[in-house]
Chain A
């Protein structure tokens, strides 16, 4: 982790009503790497992503993206920073009155001056990448959960963003569909080379994707570790989580000296 982080959260606190959700979050995200935030439901994992996206303002602390505190910059600058982002929301957040094609084409239509023919080529290419050929004219309500997520990902990737956020990408999907989603992730990340931030509780499968894993526990993020180090960490909070979700991990070095 010698490079400068492209995203940094410094001592971020947030209270919703009477609930102190984030209690001093510190996190660094590095270029080209995949950082996974794990933790039990309701711990505030998605809130961390919403702070980075600028959708929620912290009560105190800093959210630095490309060296700028996104809560102290103008709307115009925030919009510019967001041009680097692609987001796959938990429920995909597709526009329900638009077809699959229109959903994926929207960022191209609104953010670029490309002609309809060019847009059509890009959209169809992205839909093919997601194994969604032939679904162009369907509406989100006509799609399965897995397909909706893949359309959401196609829309998130259509402008080739530098950083992609995944909020619970496999929640609500069966094992086969989750594996499909992971395959699509691998394929798109190796093709487009984006930095990924994933919020998930799909442990241990999600570790296969991760360069760094960090645990959200009672409003605080524990240290970022490589997946192997995470699984054998001595940190009692991490060890508890690993044992609860994966069972006791056998570490030959520790057990047999």
Chain B
């Protein structure tokens, strides 16, 4: 059943458009894909090299809430997961995105936008296990 009260179509599309704009500017000006897991993971590679732009991009993400807070009220950030669950989730996201060569941004936005079959498959797969995991947590274990 759709939760119409929680549904925020305008800010969702507008926020999505900003994400798309950032990805578009990055590929057109820098020639790089704005995939967050790849940008972060590349820093942990011993044969790195291009550290500066990665740190700059991450710096932008880290600074975003502070600057956003000047103009608009920061949204709530409610995390229901317990600490052990958060640690497990972080580990899975870290290993999974690196093995799968991408996350929601690299595959889900940039990859789907350029119609990459690999990214379409990856997006379908992580959405599927995402749905399944929440189903198990909320309706099987938590039922």
Q: Do A and B bind each other?
A: no
Q: Which residues of B contact A (CB under 8 A)?
A: none
Q: Which residues of A contact B (CB under 8 A)?
A: none
